[in-house]
Amino acid sequence: MRDGFTEVTTHAARRMAQRNVSLDDALLVICYGTVEHRTGVEFYFLAQRDIPTGRERQLERLVGTTVVVRSGRIETVYRNRRALPSIRRKSKLQRPPRPSRSGMAGLETQLETNR
């Protein structure tokens, strides 16, 4: 899916359908929400204080919605009215990926041979 400059992953499209959030709703959160840059992605969170005067009726149901964007693609969407503090606790830097379980078996073998 593509709308303007925002692409939606299949995961995000599925989550948006499950949570009754349309693409227009997600774009409203991106437009009016607070942005936090953490772990290599952008978190757009719509708080009550972010709603401009006169748009309360239209945006009230979106309070607590978080849109996660990586490189211009919407990765996922979720609702949690208390999400902002947990988003702010995340690391600002992206962590290196963890080794896979299959990679761990090879690591254990190497450790045993070095003993």
pLDDT of 96 reads: 61
CA 90, CA 66: separation in Å to the nearest integer?
15
- Banded pLDDT at 1 (limits 50, 70, 90): very low
CA 10, CA 1: separation in Å to the nearest integer?
8
Residue 4 burial by CB count (10 A; 0-12/13-18/19+): exposed, middle or buried?
Answer: exposed
Residue 68 burial by CB count (10 A; 0-12/13-18/19+): exposed, middle or buried?
Answer: buried
Tens digit of pLDDT for each residue in 16-53? 999 999 999 999 999 999 888 877 888 899 988 888 99
H or E stretch covering 1? none
pLDDT of 8 reads: 92
Yes or no: say if 50 and 35 are a contact pair by the CB < 8 Å rule.
no
- Banded pLDDT at 79 (limits 50, 70, 90): confident
